[in-house]
Each structure stands twice: as structure tokens, then as C-alpha cells.
Amino acid sequence: MNSVRKLQVLVAHAEPLVAAGLEATLREENDLDVSALTSPRPELTPVGAHELADVILADCRTGIRLALGSHPGNHETRRPRIVIVTQDESEVSVRRAIEAGVRGYLLLGATRDSVVQAVRFAARGGITLDPIAASRMAASLGDSITSREREVLGLVMLGLPDKVIANRLGIRIGTAKCHVKQLLLKLDASSRTEAAAIAQRRGLITPPGSDMHAGDTHGPHARVMQMAAGHWSSR
């Protein structure tokens, strides 16, 4: 009689208490074979070390890194499914995770059943999103904020006037004003201050000093951070 193969699940979470809780929860399931990384910094573990797993549960940074690293090239490779468990509910993080190919995005506080079901569903190729994460993703798709508008938004959050924004981006002041107006409409904000507050709450722009986009040196987030660094260093 052939035994049913168990799903190979790896817990690679940077938070020790979260990792221990996930491991204990999943070990109670008879159809899951669970192991955990002992490294305090799983994001530094070589991607190849995770290839035996069917599903990996990770923090946001580790999960995105593994998802990006697991895409096959010109030959077939084993591709573990990634499920993120995190307290980060920002729109930027959710969108970046989904674009990277993550199969689950759960927030801390998710129920035991939700975690177990997300693992099984991910193994079958499905995607599970926490309701808050799903709403963030929907808002992101609905707003359709462009890369240029994100750059403008980052400078608005620094409290810069239209003339300075135009100079920083190398555009006409009228164009800068137009971008600000469009941002107010898309964010349903009545003022620049309110737009900045909404952007911060939703995580539309990574705050200066964050390493969330440490590997991004060319995108709009990187340019905003570079301009922000120049702003603060000149004060």
C-alpha cells in the first residue's frame, strides 16, 4: 500500500517567536512535514537551500527575496511556493510581493486554520490574501498612480512646494502642479497634507531610512529616496 506523500513545509521567518508559533501550528497537521531554519537571518540563506520545500513560510523581506530567486531560467527548477506572514500591510509591500510571485500574504494575527489552509492552497498553486492585504491590492490597481506621480508624491511628503518639485525632477512648474492635482484626485484628498497622510498610511512611499527597497537602485522608489537624502543633507 502506497503512503501519501506529505507536503514539505519550511519555516524561514526572521522573527523567532513567529517562527516558533508557525512551526508548532503546522506540526499538528498529519499531511505536513515541517522543518525550520535555525539562522536568525533567513533572508541571507542561499536560495538553493530552500529548493526541497513545497511551501515556505517567511517574513516579508525573506519571502519576496525567495520568490524572486525561485523563478526558473532556461531550464526547469523546483519552485517552492512562498507564503508571507507579516505585520506589514502597506500597499507597496503587498503589491511587490504579489508581483514577485508570492502565493500567500497573511498578517500577524491570522487564525490557525487560515495559515494551514494558505499552505495547502499554495501547494496547489492558489493564492491566499488576507482581507486587508486584498483591499490594499485593489486600491493599488484602482489608483493607477504612475512612477512620475510617485516621485512627486515623495517630494510632497517632504513638504516641498511645486517650484522646488519641478526643479528636482527637471520638469515645468505647470507640469508639477498638474501631477499634484492628479494625486489629490486619485487619493481623494482635499489638501497636500491629507495626501501625504494617506500615502504614509497606505505605504505608497517608503520612508527615508527604510531598507524595504534596498535592492532597487533604479526604480521610482530609489529616485525618491535619493532626492529625499539630498533634501535632508542640504538642511
Read off the pLDDT band of 77 (50, 70, 90).
low
* Phi and psi torsions of 12, nearest 5°: -130, 60
Distance CA 101, CA 65 (A): 10
CB 210 within 8 A of CB 140: no
Distance CA 3, CA 206 (A): 48
The mean-pLDDT minimum among 64-78, 128-142, 201-215 falls in 201-215
Set out the domains of the chain in order of their start, with CATH numbers.
7-140 (3.40.50.2300), 144-233 (1.10.10.10)
- The percentage of the chain sitting over the pLDDT mark of 90, rounded to a whole number, equals 49
SS3 state of residue 77: coil
User: Looking at the predicted structure, is the pLDDT value of residue 48 above 60?
Assistant: no
β-sheet bridge partners, residue 55 = 9, 81
**From the centroid of its chain, how far is CA 45?**
19
pLDDT at 97: 92
User: Looking at the predicted structure, is the pLDDT value of residue 180 above 90?
Assistant: yes
* Phi and psi torsions of 10, nearest 5°: -115, 130
C-alpha cell at 42: 533567513
User: Looking at the predicted structure, is the pLDDT value of residue 207 above 60?
Assistant: no
Q: Mean of the per-residue pLDDT values for the chain?
A: 80
Greater confidence (235 vs 5) lies with 5
The residue behind cell 486554520 is 113
Greater confidence (192 vs 209) lies with 192
Question: What pTM, to 2 d.p., does this model score?
Answer: 0.64
User: Looking at the predicted structure, is the pLDDT value of residue 230 above 50?
Assistant: no
The residue type of 169 is: L
Q: Count other Cβ atoms within 10 Å, centred on residue 92.
A: 20
Greater confidence (45 vs 115) lies with 115
pLDDT at 142: 56
CB 97 within 8 A of CB 84: yes
- Average pLDDT in the 8-31 region? 94
Distance CA 231, CA 106 (A): 36
* Phi and psi torsions of 54, nearest 5°: -85, -40
Q: Count other Cβ atoms within 10 Å, centred on residue 115.
A: 19
